[in-house]
Structure 1
Amino acid sequence: MAGSSDRAIERRRIRVLMAPRTVLALIVGIVIAALAATAWHVMSGTGSVVKKDPAAPSPPPIVAEEPSGVPSPDATVVVYVTGQVQAPGVYTLPAGARVTDAIAAAGGMLPDADAAAQNLARHLADGEHVHVPTPGEPPPSDAQPGGAAKSSSGVNVNTASATELQEIPGIGPALAQRIVDHRETNGPFASIDALDDVSGIGPALLSRIRDSGATT
């Protein structure tokens, strides 16, 4: 009787253990334990802090270099201004100043000045003589007519850039660009006289261009 009673108790215990609720609770417990173990592993693996080796050399600081070709703020040029200006004389101007700055320092042009005789936009050179003439007046031998020295060969109007064309007396930036545009549209100039076809060049200026030694 005792043996059969024990077997009956054991069967009831197995039925209890195999009940759906018991099995479900066991599965849920296993899943929760697995998730907890995974979370701990991930957090412990990625939460570490990488420390910098104090002995490792630091990169050298980046020092910005000043662009070349830019004049120092303290640099100056000394120019001699004469002719049809309010106060002829020697003036000290900041490096990078232009002809117009030199004339302004001398009080500006007088009413009889030939304003077109100078390229007012040209940069000044140290020791330069800027002479503002009356119309038709020849420039002094040591002055730079039109704001640029005349070379022995002259400026070739068919090959010169807009900047180089401004070396010709009476030709400023706008007129120089019109010459380049006309040349590119219509081809090279057959002669200096052909510059008369460019808007803004009349007989008087054409004569000055011819006298400057410009070539084609």
Structure 2
Amino acid sequence: MQQLMEIWNKYRIYLLILAIIIVITGYLFIGKEQKDRLPISNTNAVVASSVSESNGESSSINLNTKGVVAIDIKGAVQKPGVYQLKADSRVNEALTAAGGPLVNADLRQVNLAKQLTDQQMIYIPTIGEVPPISSSAADTLSSNSGNSNSPMVNINTATKEQLCQITGIGDKKADLILQYRQEHGQFKSVDELKEINGFGEKTVAKLKDHLTV
């Protein structure tokens, strides 16, 4: 113990200087390490903020465009034109958006429950009017899966004029179809036409390219 005291008394100045140097060096090293870390944290914060803002902007854009369809409604309505509606809207909602039907509108030819699709054209016919073949609102036609340019006529809703436009069906056969439909109700399939006199198997086979139920 006495030897340690002698060493301390002899070298205490040097030991104190060494201790001060160690403390200062440690302080500088720790300060430098913390300083080096700060830009990284700030950079991460900026990047995270940018990503968050970018995602927010993208989400906003999606909310503004998602779930909306544009439809064009024509014919016997108060205010024909192009309207934007929710994607799950029906034809009756499009009709309401257009101010409702005119007094002479024939809504019996229109499927008001049909769901809307984007860029759909809806035509509301007047009483006694034959809707255009391309009218989607009349719901008497559907696209032919084999040829999109050949419309399919629904024999359960088609008028005589529409039936007569099909090759192989004249006035007489159109009347027979309407008479059968009135007496027996809706057709279950196109093959049921064979139950009508004048509609043989070959004739019905050809008509399948143009008729649907």
TM-score range, shorter chain: 0.3 to 0.5
Instruction: Choose 1 or 2 for highest CA Rg.
Output: 1
Task: State the TM-score, normalizing by the size of structure 1.
Answer: 0.40
More strand per residue:
2
More helix per residue:
2
Task: State the TM-score, normalizing by the size of structure 2.
Answer: 0.41
